[in-house]
């Protein structure tokens, strides 16, 4: 969590892959309130999010940037995770120091401009 506090983005991830050539993405992501994650999508994989600590909302959007669904995740309740469908626009709103486990298929590929929604 300290590295997230030191980061201007207010978040920091820890890569859990065994090698950079690993054909999956597994990471811990520590996030603080105020972090800004652009609305984005993944076109080659679903994304699984599991809460380990904290509270946040995972927010879904349509192609025009209108919010369509909001899922409240809380590590202290039964609402601890979800699977984000392939191609689903999404972002997060973090309410307290939060740590999630993220998993996606395939090697890491930076988001293309077409996969970031500007509203």
**How confident is the model over 13-61, as pLDDT tens digits?**
888 988 878 888 999 999 999 999 999 999 999 999 999 999 999 999 9
Of the chain, the percentage scoring pLDDT greater than 70 comes to 100
CATH number at residue 30: 2.60.120.10
Structural domain that includes position 84: 2-105
- Whether residue 42 is contained in a domain is answered as yes
What is the CA angle 91-10-30, rounded to 5? 75
- Whether residue 117 is contained in a domain is answered as no
Q: What pLDDT was estimated at residue 70?
A: 98
Sheet holding 89-94, edge to edge: 67-74, 55-61, 89-94
Q: What pLDDT was estimated at residue 65?
A: 97
Dist CA 68 CA 10 (whole Å): 26
- Whether residue 95 is contained in a domain is answered as yes
**Confidence class for position 6, pLDDT limits 50, 70, 90:** confident
- Whether residue 116 is contained in a domain is answered as no
- Whether residue 110 is contained in a domain is answered as no
Q: What is the mean pLDDT of residues 93-106?
A: 96
Domains identified in the chain, total number: 1
Dist CA 83 CA 14 (whole Å): 20
45 contacts 105 by C-beta, under 8 angstroms = yes
Alpha carbon separation from 48 to 7, 25, 73, 103 (Å, rounded): 24, 10, 13, 5
Q: What pLDDT was estimated at residue 17?
A: 87
- Whether residue 88 is contained in a domain is answered as yes
């Amino acid at each position: 969590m300290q590295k997230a506090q030191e980061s201007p983005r207010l978040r920091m991830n820890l890569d859990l892959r065994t090698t950079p050539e690993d054909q999956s993405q597994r990471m811990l992501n520590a996030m603080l309130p105020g972090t800004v994650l652009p609305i984005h999508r993944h076109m080659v994989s679903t994304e699984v999010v599991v809460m380990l600590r904290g509270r946040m909302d995972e927010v879904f959007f349509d192609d025009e940037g209108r919010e369509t669904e909001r899922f409240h995740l809380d590590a202290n309740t039964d609402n601890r995770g979800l699977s984000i469908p392939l191609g689903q626009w999404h972002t997060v709103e973090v309410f307290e120091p939060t740590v999630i486990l993220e998993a996606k298929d395939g090697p890491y590929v930076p988001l293309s401009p077409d996969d970031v929604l500007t509203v």
